[in-house]
Amino acid sequence: MSTPQLPVGPADHPLVIKLAKTFRYVAFAEALSWLGLLIGMGFKYLADPGTEVGVQFFGPVHGAMFVLYVIVAIAAALHFRWSPAVAVVALLASIPPFATAVFEIWASRTGRLVRPADAAAAA
């Protein structure tokens, strides 16, 4: 049984560029949704009297961004052929606040948002 793969193409193929950009945008959007949720929790628990408006708004937004990040991270792991360890770290990055942005910066700097064959051909 073979693992599903996204279409193979050069590093400048529109699908490759789009997936890398989508991963970047979703990673940072998930981190920003964490920020909104943390601010909302601050107003809920630290303000006197507390208000739940921020949590009621950012809770579902963050939940949706979390799910979207997991989906895009799995697609990126398959397409960019990340090792199982890198894929697990990408998924675990969705748990602590702002870790998705840190992972995306690391993945960009270490060439993990290009396919290995394309990186070798460019070198």
Over the stretch 6-41, which tens digit does the pLDDT of each residue have? 545 555 556 667 899 999 999 999 999 999 999 999
As a whole number, the mean pLDDT across the chain is 87
Element (H, E) at 73: helix 53-79
Percent of the chain with pLDDT over 90: 68
Whole-prediction pTM value?
Answer: 0.81
Q: CA-to-CA distance for 118 and 114, rounded, in angstroms? A: 7
Indicate the helix (H) or strand (E) that contains 2: none
Tell me what pLDDT residue 89 has. Answer: 98
pLDDT of residue 16: 63
